[in-house]
Amino acid sequence: MTGFIALVARDLRLVWRRPGDVAVVLAFFVVATVLFPLGIGPESNLLARIAAGVLWCAALFASLLSLDRLFAADYEDGTLDLLLLAPWPLELAALAKCLAHWIVTGLPLAVLAPFLGIAFGLDRPSLWALAATLFVGTPTLSLIGGLAAALTLGARRSGALLALLALPLCVPTLIFGAGAIETLAAGESFTTHLAILGALALVALATTPWAMAAALRQAGE
Amino acid sequence: MAPALLDVTDLACRRGGRQVFDRLSFVLGAGELLALTGRNGSGKTTLLRALALLVRPDAGTIRWHGAEIRAEPETWRGRLAWLGHLEGLKGDLSVRENLLVAERLRGAPPAEDRLDGALTAFDLAGLAARPVRILSAGQRRRVALARVVLSQAPLWLLDEPLNALDVPAQAAFRSALQNHLAAGGLAIAATHADLGLPAARALELGVAPSSTSPPGGGEGHETHEP
């Protein structure tokens, strides 16, 4: 457990030393979503209807944006070898890296999204629902993205390959995340959607660390 | 010779379709140093990585106290200190932070008290607060060596430990290595330069002329330096 906490703390500290990396991701999220109201024009009904889908897609792209460095930085400076040689499971190390990634991207995205939702004319319950679905759904994005990052480690043009691998796997999360807001707009409860998002996150939590560890060992050979 | 702690028997490794080494055997006891020599590409790094379980050997056994290390890989990893081609340091963290993080990643409790000793041993006390990114290659190497010393691991696996080190730093490394061996530790170092320790045993790895190894003979042969 010492190692797990140390790794999360190290990654957070590294981000703290270079806040620009995270700022770029969040700025991309803001700019990408704000372009839609500007491009479509002030049709508030249409905007409110597409808001959830747009914000969720933008969150997905934004979290992928920083993922190609998740393991690549450690691979290039040799610290990945130290993780491979740590006397505790590599699965936990992979999980720690994803947790740190979620804290610096998924969490801020979930906090930012409701403010951007205002630009789309979403009502107050929808804004809360948006934050809630992103809060529960973004860990899945970090985990699946982490798996794609581990698999593409050492590959050329890994960023594009990573997106190709991760995006299809993120489709269920996207559908239920955006669907939750639509359900709410139709006057129904979105707890089912939230539960399914939670279930997807748990499935990712239970499977991806092992796959990530196997991919990292392969990259270390 | 001290009783064998580390017993490597008939180790074989294939990489990219080429037999890097085959039927490699050696034993190492407490307080012994093994210097791996050989041409570029003769498999020194691969052997070190195989011993660290970073590369899966194709055949052979590696035993520690008579028990196969692959039965309990995590325990084995806890016994190793690793110095690779890459230092494994984070440029944005200071020297001190890098060493503390590396220790905690090994699952060890905070090592603040031992840290100063390791820093002083490699003349790093004045650099402790500097970010590693601004250090020279030799200074980084010294930080990585301080990490090895700090780990207190019984077996050191060192890949070209003298690389980029100036004369005083080489002396510091030798004295750290001697202390480690005197305390009953083991070390295996791949090196082109003379390690400068009279007690060193040498294992020369040869390059196979083709992808097939000659029948009936191992490629490595062990010599004792006078």
Relative to beta strand B18-29, strand B4-15 is antiparallel
Range of the domain at B102: 85-152
Instruction: Tell which of A4, A5, A10, A74 to mutate to test the B interface (max B CBs under 10 Å).
Output: A10
pLDDT at A4: 92
Q: Indicate if B119 and B219 belong to the same structural domain.
A: no
Q: Indicate if B164 and B214 belong to the same structural domain.
A: yes
pLDDT digits (tens, 9 = 90+) for A158-178: 888 899 999 999 999 999 999
Instruction: Tell which of B101, B104, B105, B135 to mutate to test the A interface (max A CBs under 10 Å).
Output: B105
Contact B106 A79 (CB under 8 A): no
Question: What string of DSSP letters covers chain B?
Answer: -PPEEEEEEEEEEEETTEEEEEEEEEEEETT-EEEEEESTTSSHHHHHHHHTTSS--SEEEEEETTEEGGGSHHHHHHTEEEE-SS----TTSBHHHHHHHHHHHTTPPP-HHHHHHHHHHTT-GGGTTSBGGGS-HHHHHHHHHHHHHHHT-SEEEEESTTTT--HHHHHHHHHHHHHHHHTT-EEEEE-SS----TT-EEEEEPPPSSSSPPTT--S-EEEE--
Contact B86 A86 (CB under 8 A): no
Q: Can you tell me the distance from the alpha carbon of B14 to that of B29, in angstroms, rounded to the nearest whole number?
A: 27
pLDDT at B204: 82
B82 close contact with A: CB closer than 8 A: yes
Measured in angstroms, the CA of B160 and the nearest CA of chain A are apart by: 15
Q: Last residue of a domain, which of B118, B135, B152? A: B152
Contacts of B151 (CB under 8 A, 6+ apart): B81, B102, B103, B106, B108
Q: Can you tell me the distance from the alpha carbon of A177 to that of A109, in angstroms, rounded to the nearest whole number?
A: 14
Which band of pLDDT confidence, cut at 50, 70 and 90, is reported for residue B195? confident
Interfacial A residues in 76-135 facing B (CB < 8 Å): 76-79, 81-89
Contact A87 B106 (CB under 8 A): yes
Q: What is the ipTM of this complex?
A: 0.85
pLDDT at A214: 94
Contact B92 A2 (CB under 8 A): no
A19 interaction partners in chain B (CB closer than 8 Å): none
Per-residue pLDDT tens digits of chain A, which is 221 residues long: 788 999 999 999 999 999 998 999 999 999 999 998 888 887 878 888 888 999 999 999 999 988 888 999 999 999 999 999 999 999 999 999 999 999 999 999 999 999 999 888 888 999 999 999 999 999 999 999 999 999 999 887 888 889 999 999 999 999 999 999 888 888 888 899 999 999 999 999 999 999 999 999 998 88
Angle between helices A124-151 and A90-101 (to 10 degrees): 140
Contact A78 B86 (CB under 8 A): yes
Contact A221 B108 (CB under 8 A): no
* Average pLDDT of the segment spanning B81-107: 91
Instruction: Name the residue of chain B whose CA is nearest to A84's CA.
Output: B54
Looking at the structure of chain B, the number of domains it has is: 2
pLDDT at B134: 94
Which band of pLDDT confidence, cut at 50, 70 and 90, is reported for residue B99? very high
Q: Indicate if B138 and B185 belong to the same structural domain.
A: no
Interfacial B residues in 106-145 facing A (CB < 8 Å): 106-109
Instruction: Read off the tokens for A202.
Output: 């748990």
Which band of pLDDT confidence, cut at 50, 70 and 90, is reported for residue B213? very low
Residue entry with tokens 């991760």: A166
Contact A81 B102 (CB under 8 A): no
Q: Indicate if B161 and B136 belong to the same structural domain.
A: no
Q: Last residue of a domain, which of B114, B135, B152? A: B152
Q: Indicate if B94 and B201 belong to the same structural domain.
A: no
Q: Indicate if B140 and B91 belong to the same structural domain.
A: yes
Q: Which among B78, B84, B92 has CB closest to A81? A: B84
Q: Which among A3, A81, A87 has CB closest to B88? A: A81
Q: Indicate if B211 and B138 belong to the same structural domain.
A: no
B55 close contact with A: CB closer than 8 A: yes
Most confidently modeled of A88-102, A150-164, B67-81, B116-130?
A: A88-102
Q: For residue A152, give the DSSP letter.
A: T
A3 interaction partners in chain B (CB closer than 8 Å): 104-107
B16 close contact with A: CB closer than 8 A: no
Q: Last residue of a domain, which of B114, B134, B152? A: B152
pLDDT digits (tens, 9 = 90+) for B19-55: 888 888 888 988 889 998 888 888 889 999 999 999 8
- Give the distance, in angstroms, between the CA of residue B125 and the centroid of all CA atoms in the same chain: 24
Q: Which among B87, B92, B107 has CB closest to A3? A: B107
Residue entry with tokens 């060596």: B145
Q: Indicate if B171 and B136 belong to the same structural domain.
A: no
Instruction: Read off the tokens for A106.
Output: 């998924």
Q: Which among B88, B97, B107 has CB closest to A2? A: B107
pLDDT at A27: 95
Q: Indicate if B1 and B75 belong to the same structural domain.
A: yes
Q: Can you tell me the distance from the alpha carbon of A170 to that of A142, in angstroms, rounded to the nearest whole number?
A: 10
Q: Indicate if B200 and B131 belong to the same structural domain.
A: no
For residue B26, give the CATH number of its domain: 3.40.50.300
User: Does pLDDT of B199 surpass 90?
Assistant: no
Q: Indicate if B62 and B109 belong to the same structural domain.
A: no
pLDDT at B210: 41
B109 interaction partners in chain A (CB closer than 8 Å): 2
Contact B54 A85 (CB under 8 A): yes
User: Does pLDDT of B226 surpass 50?
Assistant: no
A12 interaction partners in chain B (CB closer than 8 Å): none
Q: Indicate if B109 and B64 belong to the same structural domain.
A: no
